[in-house]
Structure 1
């Protein structure tokens, strides 16, 4: 039952605000590099599509490994300590892009960079929603994810501008600056720590599947895997698509419009979900996302980029925070870190594997055919959602 005290507790505390800043910095580096790495691998190392996809996706594969381990050891190591260690490594690895001269080394660096990202971002995400009253989790998740939304628009825009201004070195300096911003925020944040139980301490070196994955968070996490798989095709290859058609300037417009639209949508989607339930957000989101992918399949132009950005922002942009709110609500407090990790592991796995598989598919379909197939894929996902999470009545775990 909601109490007057909890109902009046504000979402925007000092530490929640710092968590948003840290998340913005982490997401900024992710989007800046994720949207440019495939093209960088092609331009700098003459990589073919599959290797270019691996260069983009290796980062996220590293994040998957890190999130799995973080879910087990977050409260044993300490949440603030995990964030600090992860961000120190994140800064160092961001600098190393400036000196890499070999594709194999670049892929390895991308993997390690993802490891640092996964640890820090999991700790921040798991802790940030614990700073928000339970009955405001969907709304708080929407606000928290706005930081990533801003990064989704600013990162690719900077990447596009810097590439056409003269090269990739500027991208690596910007990513280093963002990493330093995140580390600065981590030095001042206070995160809610949870004392590990005696059982957790005793079994700290034992790793079981239940220590890494929470089954209660899996239905919604599977949905996010499918959505992120489709979105990975936009993240990794839309810049390549525009470059191949001589309309690269439109890509910057696409991600900027996407970010602005998601910013607006997420101000309301969380409240709608809290009031009317998950299905009121998820079913329309899947449909609109599929339509957006059909639009993206059209060769890029400014009208196409704007329309595709708005539709995918309304669709995919509503899925991520809504799913995270569900994942942390269906588990008890001591399982929040594992549920958060489960959710983001599935999201990261899709974004990591997606570019690799889609890179293999591209020679057969071309960019337009790939996006049409992803649109059909999202239509099928509606049925999967209906059979799993869609027919469940979700209540908060005690």
Structure 2
């Protein structure tokens, strides 16, 4: 039976994995704003310290993607995801100690940094393990659908995690928030325990950088896509406020609406039509949205640009991810997925500081020009991938 015709239980298992990933990623999303507030208001340290406490988790994630992928290939996706969830819980406990009033403020901050480093590792291991496990359950032919579900879990956690984290911080304090961040991944781990494991594939292991050499084009395409999202998330509200426009807080709402709608109704497209045509259309739409934001004469045009950006960004990760798993044999899939995800992590982490310098010099609208140009370069890269000569699994 072809993989695309496998029965529904596999899909239900992957939905359960997505829910567990959503619960665990809430620990990342809830702490984004709350950690900064805790560092500045409770520990009495400056904004730079708060920013470092947030950013160090993402740095940890980027630096450990390759290791996490190799771990998934070696021990299997289920064990890898379960270890990631345990690391999440351990990170929550360590961050809980950062709220212990008996310690000096700087010592609590050091403990917090240790917990945040561990949190980034947990995110890396849990997500790569989940993707590897889910593709093993559903088959490579439905890898695009798997990537779509992963994105829904992650972005769904981002959507509710920010306000939920601030609410818990306000009502329960930092300790209460960290207890919640400890319990959520444990709940997720219990939920996925009954799901059958997929045995790791045997085969020759290749160095991480050699695998990056195979997948750099899909990875670069998804990284270039991420520039537009990062620019919108960081500077949309500031662009509106600088011009005195209303609705400054609706940028991510419009982006998210477009993003989720496409994932819900078109998440199967990479598996049906192939990742390259889906990515090409998506990057075209994203570029149009970013250029509209750059040239927008008023708030309604800018909101339309945010919506188009969300519509375009939505399917690039699953479309390119489905191409990545075609470039490597099954026993290297986890390493490839880890390296692929690192391209997007890098784009998200680097875009804000880089285009922030441009915004200071040229104004906020210029950052969306960069987003549009990045999506355009990504489109050209995808179109070049459609030429003969791309490696396929049989060649890998």
Verify the 8 A CA contact 2:94 2:114 in the aligned structure 1. no
| Pairing 1:338-357 to 2, within 5 Å after superposition | 338-357=335-354
Say which is worse superposed, 153-162 or 226-235, in terms of deviation: 153-162
**Aligned pairs for 1:1-398 within 5 A:** 3=1, 7-10=5-8, 12-34=10-32, 45-47=45-47, 54-98=52-96, 99=98, 101-102=105-106, 106-158=112-164, 175-194=181-200, 196-197=202-203, 208-210=207-209, 213-236=211-234, 251=249, 253-294=250-291, 307-387=304-384, 389-392=385-388, 397-398=393-394
Contact persistence 1:57–1:351 (CA under 8 A): no
Contact kept? 2:66, 2:208, Cα under 8 Å: no
Look up the SS of the partner of 1:190 in the other structure.
coil
Q: Aligned-pair distance for 1:337?
A: 1.2
Q: Give 1:184 deviation, angstroms.
A: 3.0
Alpha-carbon offset, residue 39 of structure 1: 7.7
Maintained 8 Å contact 1:32/1:158: yes
**CA distance in structure 2 between the partners assigned to 1:276 and 1:95 by the alignment:** 45
Task: Using the TM superposition, give the Cα deviation of residue 242 of structure 1 relative to its aligned residue in structure 2, in angstroms.
Answer: 7.4
Distance 1:163 1:302 in 2: 33
Normalised by the length of structure 2, the TM-score is: 0.78
- Three-state SS of the structure 1 residue aligned to 2:347 is helix
Going from structure 1 to structure 2, the CA distance change for 1:248 and 1:85 (only over 3 Å counts) comes to: farther
Over residues 180-204 of structure 1, what are the superposed CA-to-partner deviations in whole Å (9 max), with x where a residue is unaligned? 433333444332121545x65xxxx
Give the superposition deviation at 1:397. 1.4
Unmatched runs of 5 consecutive residues or more in structure 1: 201-206
Instruction: Provide closer, same or farther for how the CA distance between residues 360 and 273 of structure 1 changes in structure 2, counting only shifts above 3 A.
Output: same
Structure 2 distance, partners of 1:247, 1:221, is 36
**Matches of 1:376 and 1:137, distance apart in 2:** 29
Gaps of at least 5 residues in structure 2 are 100-104
Higher relative contact order (CA 8 A, sep 6+): 1
Give how far 1:224 is off.
1.0
- Secondary structure of the residue aligned to 2:387 is coil
Q: Distance in 1 between matches of 2:302 and 2:168?
A: 20
Alpha-carbon deviation of 1:354? 3.0
Deviation at 1:69? 1.0
Task: Report the Cα distance in structure 1 between the residues aligned to 2:29 and 2:231, rounded to whole angstroms.
Answer: 13
**Residue 102 of structure 2 corresponds to which residue in structure 1?**
none
State the number of aligned residues: 383
Cα gap change, 1:88/1:136 in structure 2, threshold over 3 Å: closer, same or farther? closer
Once the 2 structures are TM-superposed, how far is the Cα of residue 275 of structure 1 from its aligned partner? 3.5
Aligned-pair CA distance for 1:88 = 1.6
CA shift in 2, pair 1:30/1:354, >3 Å: farther
Bigger shift: 281-290 or 150-159? 150-159
TM-score (norm 1): 0.78
Residue 235 of structure 1: how far off its partner (Å) = 4.1
User: Equivalents in 2 of 1:260, 1:217: separation in Å?
Assistant: 30
Shift of residue 8 of structure 1?
A: 4.8
Query: In 2, are the aligned partners of 1:63 and 1:117 still within 8 Å (CA)?
Result: yes
> Using the alignment, how far apart are the partners of 1:294 and 1:54 within structure 2?
32
